[in-house]
Structure 1
Amino acid sequence: MKTIFRNKKISGLLSIIPETSISFEDEINNYAFPAKQTLRLQKVMGFKKHSIVKESTATSDLCIFGLKYILNNGLLKKEEIGAIVVACSYPDHFIPPVSSIIHGKLGLSEDVYCADINQGCVGFLMALTHGFMLLEHIKDKKVVAIAADVLSKKVSKKDRNSYPLIGDAAGIVVLENCAEHNDIYTIVRNNGSLGDALTIPAGGSRMPNTEKTAELVDKDNDGNWRALDNLTMKGSDVFTFVQTKVPTLIEECLSYANLKKEDITYYLFHQPNRFMLKKLAEKIGIPYEKVPMNIVEEFGNSSGACIPVCATYNISDILKGEKHKYCLSAFGSGLTWEAMIMDIGELDFCEMLISDC
């Protein structure tokens, strides 16, 4: 899909991080590798620490924590909400949707449209895309678009490829129609034939959870133990996908918006790891300082919430101030990749919260 949204804007942005933060060194003994070998990866990949939820915390808990803060501080009124869109890959339950759980907990009007999107890494941009489309039909209301996940629960603690990188978080944005000219250029691509590069094999109707699917096995004999219930990533396939597909997408989106690379103030990307982002910046031909890369090492890869976490952590003062041109891009499960170029600034709020979840 390739389209332009007009006369719409982001008016507020919030990220929610769980208070539990665990250092990479404290988990070295989880892995079936010599500690010295594991520590060598720290510099390359950006391993430092990651923030994860408590065992009792579900995806909706982070979302509700953030939305209550927004409502209680008068940053948004319940009666202004026309829709809630939630993108996540690990919901509270199969039924009901996370958006409906949030709707009920907040006591919103029955007229509020609720929808979940089954998406991980590209979740934030997918939620924005759906939110902008919904604004065409609820012109006097606002859309709350959310990307959230607690995937630390679905990654094996004995999987050195994935567990040190994973983090939990939620990102919430308020979207609304506006009178001022503000074209938003969006391109979304999918290749479902590559979907098994990022998958949780068991748990759905194809392979329900059983005692057998919960057994940890070193299936590929690489020392990373995981079960069929756990997230499985083909790292080299994902790396190749990102390096080959994303640079051309960014170039295409810039051309679509009639912009040059230097016209963009910041490139806010999904953050799988620092190494991959450096290579991506080099491939596109943009300076490192325009691509914040510190989220994985500070909080972990929080799936679809990475971009709002990155924005609130690194440039909240800028976003609350004057407007600048940003290129947002995410890539991952599906396999899906998306780019969006828009003006963002003069936000009503732009904050990071630490939740006790």
Structure 2
Amino acid sequence: MVGKIKGTGSYRPVQVWDNDKLSHMMETSDEWIRGRTGIGQRHIASQGETVAYMAARAAGEALRDAEVRPEEIDLILVSTMSSERIMPCAACEVQKLIGATGATCFDLNSACTGFLLALNTAQAYLGQHIYKRALVIGAEVLSNLTNWQDRSTCVLFGDGAGAVVLEAEEDAVYIQATHSIGKGGDALTCTSRNQPEFVEKGTNLSATYMQMDGKEVFKFAVSKVPEVIFEVLEKAGKTKEEIRFYMLHQANQRIVSSVAKHMKEPLEKYPMNIERLGNTSSASIPLLLDEWKKRGKLNPGDWIVLSGFGGGLTYGASLMRW
């Protein structure tokens, strides 16, 4: 027994920054950003649009879609690397906001692979008959961790939240594979401002924002993502031709296109919304799932692969039947 997705939901901050706005903040242009990333705009959280607030809004939408009451949820997992509060965790704040009084709650942090690992964690609980229904959320306010003067990173990121409701079913299918490469972790970092060297006033805080070696991250993603997707297909005894969609973390349009090329699969099987949302880290996969569901693109029985990759370095893939 594993969990089947019964409902999806999402939240996007009201404020939108397009590439032209960024061109007035630093030396860049719409052409430069689109050519390297495929991104045209991103949503940026305003005051009050915290990780917990956005996660709760996405969760409420997912619950309504699943026709499940908040008090029927047994487990709430929030994947985030950008929560404004260390304690209480974002999942407990979501519980309070939506009234899921019977749920056990905790957060996970695995950067852009986070939602996938949170989904795997929820599946483990459901598979062991510990819980019956779980709410899994990816939510990020990356604008708080972004150096808006560093055009090599700031043009990439956006804010948002996505959520799914899982319910344990006997005939559901979920097969996963995940890996980590800790020795490659310096390719993508973000350091806490609570470290002693950053506490004094006037200290250069640049290291406390996201830092990325773009070339290394690109090489990592385009080599390891196809590898882990084929690994999970082999585990399931499935061929790539049987897959309806590959729902990848929306890091960069060039990465997604390169993965499709490496796998020798048509790009049409790789949905993308990065042009409108940017890289939303752990929120990107559930945001994409919710969008495709609302557009009527997902049909019962479809085989779908989810794949996340990012800081750690971490990466993985999961196969499910919709």
Q: Which residue is equivalent to 1:134?
A: 125
Q: Which residue is equivalent to 2:176?
A: 186
| CA shift digits 1:117-153 (9 cap, x unpaired) | 0122011111111111111355563111111111011
Shift of 1:66: 2.6
Shift of the 115–106 alpha-carbon distance from structure 1 to 2, 3 Å rule, reads same
More deviation in 76-85 or 307-316? 307-316
Question: What count of residue pairs does the alignment treat as equivalent?
Answer: 322
Shift of the 245–207 alpha-carbon distance from structure 1 to 2, 3 Å rule, reads farther
SS in 2 for 1:162: helix
Shift of the 299–11 alpha-carbon distance from structure 1 to 2, 3 Å rule, reads same
Where in structure 1 are there 5+ consecutive unaligned residues?
1-5, 216-226, 345-357
Q: Which residue is equivalent to 2:140?
A: 149
Q: Distance between the aligned counterparts of 2:240 and 2:264, measured in 1? A: 8
Q: Does 1:198 align with 2:188?
A: yes
Shift of the 201–298 alpha-carbon distance from structure 1 to 2, 3 Å rule, reads same
| 1:330 alignment partner, one of 300, 308, 313 | 308
SS in 2 for 1:86: strand
Q: Does 1:276 align with 2:271?
A: no
Q: Distance between the aligned counterparts of 1:183 and 1:204, measured in 2? A: 43
Counterpart of 1:125 in structure 2: which amino acid?
Answer: L
Q: Does 1:125 align with 2:103?
A: no
Q: Which residue is equivalent to 1:299?
A: 277
For the aligned residues, what is the CA RMSD?
Answer: 2.2
Where in structure 2 are there 5+ consecutive unaligned residues?
none
Q: Which residue is equivalent to 1:242?
A: 221
| CA shift digits 1:146-198 (9 cap, x unpaired) | 1111101110111212212211111111111113x233110010111111211
Task: Give identity over the alignment, percent.
Answer: 28
Shift of 1:45: 1.9
- Please, what TM-score do these two structures have when normalized by structure 2? 0.92
Q: Distance between the aligned counterparts of 1:339 and 1:86, measured in 2? A: 19
SS in 2 for 1:341: strand
Counterpart of 1:262 in structure 2: which amino acid?
Answer: E
SS in 2 for 1:185: strand
Shift of 1:332: 0.2
Q: Which residue is equivalent to 1:257?
A: 236
Q: Which residue is equivalent to 1:9?
A: 4
Shift of 1:70: 4.9
Shift of the 208–267 alpha-carbon distance from structure 1 to 2, 3 Å rule, reads same
Q: Does 1:310 align with 2:288?
A: yes
Q: Distance between the aligned counterparts of 2:62 and 2:178, measured in 1? A: 30
SS in 2 for 1:122: helix
Q: Which residue is equivalent to 1:112?
A: 103
Q: Is the 8 A contact 1:202 1:209 kept in 2?
A: no
More deviation in 77-86 or 137-146? 137-146
Higher helix share: 2
Shift of 1:79: 2.5
- Please, what TM-score do these two structures have when normalized by structure 1? 0.84
| 2:76 alignment partner, one of 79, 84, 99 | 84
Q: Is the 8 A contact 1:21 1:299 kept in 2?
A: no
Shift of the 140–235 alpha-carbon distance from structure 1 to 2, 3 Å rule, reads closer
Q: Is the 8 A contact 1:139 1:177 kept in 2?
A: no
Shift of the 107–7 alpha-carbon distance from structure 1 to 2, 3 Å rule, reads closer
More deviation in 263-272 or 15-24? 15-24
